[in-house]
A and B are shown apart, each in its own frame.
Chain A
Amino acid sequence: SQQGEEDPQALSIQEGENATMNCSYKTSINNLQWYRQNSGRGLVHLILIRSNEREKHSGRLRVTLDTSKKSSSLLITASRAADTASYFCATDAEGGSEKLVFGKGTKLTVNP
């Protein structure tokens, strides 16, 4: 069943600007992952954040997790045209099973 839901559904920015997308989920989780999908490279894992972590960084990516609000955000700083892609959050399924459940994604367009 659907667990994570991304917001906004679509986002269009200019190169050099920051992009922020959010993920909300319904029940408690152990881990939350973010993935990127573009037409050239398929789905690629970006970052994993555990429920006891509040923030993680990877290059130009910053992920935060607020378990009290059941939400996570992905910030891409100094965006590039190559960041144009769909971004998905994935969480434990409801009930804490061993599978990941993906949201519908945020479609990011970075205009040169």
Chain B
Amino acid sequence: EAGVVQSPRYKIIEKKQPVAFWCNPISGHNTLYWYLQNLGQGPELLIRYENEEAVDDSQLPKDRFSAERLKGVDSTLKIQPAELGDSAVYLCASSLGAASDYEQYFGPGTRLTVT
């Protein structure tokens, strides 16, 4: 079974440019998460989807970040415009359910560098 797929793996952009990340979760997983991970820190939740509905986006900086999950499968996370502080690894994860008693499966992440 294929795991969570993310692309691109690496992205270098100049500040003020837009950038988009793509995630394909494990088949059958209704819950999808986007996390941000800074160096030396644990993942921090940006947004959680249940099927196509964003049920927790309280930590998403909505002035520059947006996300969508069309048809409840693939998802994209966009930053526009990017700032230097956005340099981090962006992780996508999926799970069978939303509660904390479900394990989450993570993709390899996209390492973003903003110059």
Which residues from chain A contact B41 at a C-beta distance below 8 Å? 104-105
Flag the segment in A12-20, A41-49, A61-69, A71-79 that touches B: A41-49
Interface residues on A, range: 20 to 34
Flag the segment in B17-25, B64-72, B96-104 that touches A: B96-104
Asked if B40 is at the interface (CB within 8 A of a chain A CB), the reply is: yes
Residue of B nearest to A5 (CB): B42
Distance between Cα atoms of A30 and B107 in the complex (Å): 25
Q: Which of A30, A50, A102 has the most CB of B within 10 A?
A: A102
B101 in contact with A102 (CB, 8 Å): no
Which residues from chain A contact B93 at a C-beta distance below 8 Å? 43
Distance between Cα atoms of A43 and B56 in the complex (Å): 21
Distance between Cα atoms of A97 and B93 in the complex (Å): 18
A44 in contact with B44 (CB, 8 Å): no
Given contacts A99-B48, A103-B42, A104-B42, contact A45 B101 (CB under 8 A): no
Which residues from chain B contact A43 at a C-beta distance below 8 Å? 43, 91, 93, 104, 106
Which residues from chain A contact B56 at a C-beta distance below 8 Å? 97-99
User: Which residues 79-103 in A have Cβ within 8 Å of B in the complex?
Assistant: 88, 90-92, 97-103
User: Which residues 6-32 in A have Cβ within 8 Å of B in the complex?
Assistant: 29-31
Which residues from chain B contact A33 at a C-beta distance below 8 Å? 100, 103
Given contacts A42-B109, A43-B106, A45-B105, contact A98 B42 (CB under 8 A): no
B103 in contact with A45 (CB, 8 Å): yes
Distance between Cα atoms of A74 and B103 in the complex (Å): 17
Sample of 6 further A-B pairs with CB below 8 A, known A33-B103, A43-B43: A45-B103, A98-B99, A98-B100, A99-B98, A100-B100, A104-B41
